[in-house]
Amino acid sequence: MSVRLWITLITVFLLGIVVFFGWPQIVQAWGLMDRVNPWILALLLPVQLFSYYSGGEAMFSYLRAKNELKTMSRSMMARISLELNFVNHIFPLPGAGGFSYMGWIMGHHGVSAGRTTMAQIIRIFSQFVSFVMFIMLSVFVLLFDNGVSRVSIFVSTLFVVATILLILFTVYVIGNRRRVISISAWVSRAINGMVRKFTNGKKPEAIMPIKVEKFFLDLHSDYMEIKADKRILIRPLIWSSIGNVLDVGLIMIAFLALGFWVNPAALFVAYGVASFAVIIVSVMPGGSGIYETIMITFLASAGVPADVAIAGTLLARAILLTGTILFGYLFYQLTINKYGKNTKPAKL
């Protein structure tokens, strides 16, 4: 079978897993529809689309500043943003699939794998930085809310500290050429060692150490350029801030459609903690189960009635998941049909 057909079959299989695990939430959300204000709920569509666009712009604005993507239209960038969101929801280990997919797509537009990865790191970095600022403000607001438990405040503070440490560790690794070379060598040995173990030595080298080193050195080079001209981060930070507000706004719209008002500060913290947990601990596509549990638990601990927390979270999650599948899969499959026919997996 062709590579394109294999990719399609794997995607459909993973999509089925996401729908299977998300089906109980979809069914429960459907049961809430008779309580929903359809005019308010309809706002989810434009807000969701602009949220995807904002997330993409946090990455594409950096690439344009590097004189890349000269022939790519804004509409194509918006389409790729939808595809990226779809891939991150469908494939296990949220984020990892997106890195590989974007490297593959951008390669067809003349952007190196290292620069594409740096663009995605900047997107994640700017999202984290802007979200930390929102979280710090939210925690300050929640301190004056007597209905919020001290445990919620502690979790919020822990989330901020963990995010800052993650950012500092990333900067520490890619900010020094010697460390970058050491890390690249370790990655090569680790991956090739695992492959040799699983193939009983039949495939001694899955990736080429020299190409892995070049990949990491490209990251280091881009980092040094950013360090010399920090203004290049302004646009990604602005777009990330807009995207973070819109993402939380999507959840707020679901609660408002049900006739409930929830403190935006509590939503910011709950969304941040749930999203961070999905990235760190979830291996299921879309973070099925973990995201909803954390959101509901945190909102309930922040003083939101349990039934309200459950109803709003399930409604938002089910509709956004449906939108992601409908919009993302269409463009994703068109891209696979275009580039996947004769494309072989890239060998580092």
- DSSP letter string over 97-116? HHHHHHHHHHHTTT--HHHH
E-strand ranges in 30-109 read: none
Q: Decide if 191 is inside a domain.
A: no
Residue type, 329: Y
- The pLDDT, as a whole number, for residue 288 is 54
Cβ contacts of 40-48, under 8 Å, gap ≥ 24: 40/253, 40/256, 40/257, 41/253, 41/254, 41/257, 41/319, 43/253, 44/250, 44/253, 44/254, 44/316, 44/319, 44/320, 44/323, 45/323, 47/246, 47/249, 47/250, 47/253, 48/250, 48/320, 48/323
- The pLDDT, as a whole number, for residue 22 is 55
Question: Other C-beta atoms within 10 Å of 65: how many?
Answer: 17
Question: Other C-beta atoms within 10 Å of 284: how many?
Answer: 17
Question: Other C-beta atoms within 10 Å of 329: how many?
Answer: 18
Helices 3-31 and 74-90 sit at what angle, rounded to 10 degrees?
A: 80
E-strand ranges in the chain read: none
Q: Decide if 271 is inside a domain.
A: yes
Q: Decide if 329 is inside a domain.
A: yes
Q: What is the mean pLDDT of each run of 10 residues along the chain (348 residues)?
A: 51 55 58 75 85 86 84 80 77 62 80 81 82 80 67 71 78 84 84 77 73 78 79 88 90 87 83 68 52 75 75 78 76 75 44
| Encoded tokens for 255 | 């609660």
In the chain the first and final C-alpha atoms are separated, in Å, by 23
Q: Decide if 52 is inside a domain.
A: yes
Whether pTM > 0.85 for this model: the answer is: no
Q: Decide if 243 is inside a domain.
A: no
Q: Decide if 101 is inside a domain.
A: yes
Question: Other C-beta atoms within 10 Å of 158: how many?
Answer: 11
| Encoded tokens for 305 | 């009635």
Distance CA 234, CA 46 (A): 25
What does R_g of the chain's alpha carbons equal in angstroms? 21
Count of the separate structural domains present in the chain: 1
Of 298, 342, 316, 208, the residue nearest 258 (C-alpha): 316
Residue 159 buriedness (CB in 10 A; 0-12 / 13-18 / 19+): buried
**240, 58 Cβ separation under 8 angstroms:** yes
Distance CA 277, CA 103 (A): 25
Length of the chain: 348
- The pLDDT, as a whole number, for residue 96 is 58
Helix count and strand count (H, E) for the chain:
13, 0
Q: Decide if 231 is inside a domain.
A: no
Distance CA 265, CA 148 (A): 11
- Residue-range definition of the domain harbouring residue 40: 1-107+257-288+302-348
**306, 244 Cβ separation under 8 angstroms:** no
**185, 213 Cβ separation under 8 angstroms:** yes
Q: Which residue has the tokens 């409930």?
A: 260
- The pLDDT, as a whole number, for residue 341 is 55
Distance CA 341, CA 336 (A): 8
